[in-house]
Amino acid sequence: MSKLETVVNEIVAEMRDMPQRGEVASYIPELARVDPKAFGLVVIDAEGKVAAAGDADTPFSIQSISKVFTLTLALGKFGDRLWQRVGREPSGSRFNSIVQLEYEKGIPRNPFINAGAIAVTDAILGGHQPREALGEILRFMQYVAADDTIYIDDKVAASEQRTGFGNIALANYMKSFGVIEGPVDYTLGVYFHHCAIAMSCRQLAMAARYLAHFGNDPTTVLPVVTPERARRINALMLTCGHYDGSGEFAYRVGLPGKSGVGGGIMAIVPGKASIAVWSPGLDASGNSQLGQLALERLSKRMEWSIF
Ligand code: DON
């Protein structure tokens, strides 16, 4: 067994009976039904070797992790013009906060807080029908993961659509500043559905490979984005990927990473590996509690911190 496989197995065994697992998200009712004991970890190295343990093949709701892929798509369409509608600074606020939008004329701080991701989704939507935009996002996910079984969990999307009043407020408020161009319900419909994409840790670690390998999928050597773009997306993940917990994540783990309220975290070891971890319980910032602990241990044992 390689050192990486040993470490991955060790960590999953350590997490199995950990008492402090955080709280499963309940503001999206459908997410509250997930088993808090679930835990999965997958690492794919530069040669394509997979180290997987725990619930590595159980699909879960990727939620905000989808924002990395919508950002990639939107940058592909608009290039640097995208930054006219969304900033690149950490917010220091909760992921669903509205407070800064008034002071900052409806321009969200970064593409990973909810407001910023809704603005990015609106850019992708352009003048298209919601289904076209959603199809484009889903196909992109399937392409980068090399897996066309990845699907949207319609129950999760409907559950958020019924209860997502905070996001509805954010979108309407941005619309009042002209930052959202399309019909608000179209933009939100696409946003709720891309957040409801279900993927396993194995699929997510596959999908993250282009970010770990300078914009290329090393198995197919197909360029997904330029090396410069991959570097910049990683920089945003490092500084904003865990919202008001981003400083703590950089301090403890030392890798670019993006969390979701489904309990997943996707992390990147530039040039070396892509990682996906899943544990549904969240900390106070809405980031997976054990996911962060597992990544802290993995990064330390493999000496993977970028610092
Ligand atoms: O908009 C929301 O609130 C969810 N669809 C996504 C939020 C999320 O995943 C925050 N991440 N930890």
List the domain boundaries for the chain: 3-61+198-302, 64-197
Contact (CB, 8 A) for 95 and 117: no
Question: For the chain, which residues score pLDDT lower than 70?
Answer: 221
Report pLDDT for 218.
Answer: 77
The order of strands in the sheet holding 273-278 is: 50-54, 40-45, 273-278, 264-269, 257-259
Nearest alpha carbon, ligand 1 atom 1: 114
ipTM computed for the complex: 0.98
CA-wise closest residue to 273 among 256, 259, 290, 288: 256
Residues 6+ apart with CB under 8 A from 83: none
Mapping DSSP to helix (H, G, I), strand (E, B) and coil, where does residue 31 land? helix
* Domain 3-61+198-302 coded CATH 3.40.710.10: yes
Can 251 be counted among the known catalytic residues? no
> Does 27 participate in catalysis according to the annotation?
no
Q: Give the CA-trace dihedral at 215, 220, 222, 223, to 10 degrees.
A: 10
| 221, 209 Cβ separation under 8 angstroms | no
Give 288's DSSP letter. B
* Whole-prediction pTM: 0.98
Tell me the Ramachandran region of residue 265: left when phi exceeds 0, alpha when psi lies from -120 to 50, beta otherwise.
beta
Which of 124, 19, 145 is closest to 74 using CA atoms?
124
Q: Is 160 known to sit in a ligand binding site?
A: yes
Cα distance from N-terminal residue to C-terminal residue, the chain: 28
Tell me the best of 162, 261, 278 to mutate to test the pocket of ligand 1, counting ligand atoms within 8 Å of each CB and taking the most. Answer: 261
* From 8, 61, 191, 210, active-site residue: 191
In the reported structure, the alpha carbon of residue 193 is separated from the centroid of ligand 1 by a whole-number distance in angstroms of 12
Cα 131 from Cα 137, distance rounded (Å):
10
Residue 222: what pLDDT? 75
List ligand 1's pocket residues with C-beta within 6 A: 63-64, 95-96, 114, 160, 167, 195, 259-261, 286-287
114 is in an annotated binding site: yes
C-alpha 220 – ligand 1 centre gap (Å): 32
Determine which helix (DSSP H) or strand (DSSP E) holds 198, and give its type and residue range: strand 197-199
What's the 212 CA to ligand 1 centre distance in angstroms?
23
Question: Alpha-carbon distance 259 to 144, whole Å?
Answer: 18
Helix (H), strand (E), coil (C) string for 145-173: HCCCCCEECHHHHHHHHHHCHHHHHHHHH
Top CATH class, 64-197:
alpha beta
Q: Tell me, what amino acid is at 57?
A: D
Tell me if residue 151 is catalytic. Answer: no
Do the domains 64-197 and 3-61+198-302 match in fold? yes
Ligand 1 centroid distance, CA of 227 (Å): 28
Index of the ligand 1 atom closest to the CA of residue 64: 9
CB 95 within 8 A of CB 113: yes
191 annotated ligand-binding residue: yes
Please state the atom number of ligand 1 nearest to the C-alpha of residue 27.
3
Nearest alpha carbon, ligand 1 atom 11: 260
Using a 10 angstrom Cβ sphere, with 0-12 exposed, 13-18 middle and 19 or more buried, the burial of residue 76 is middle
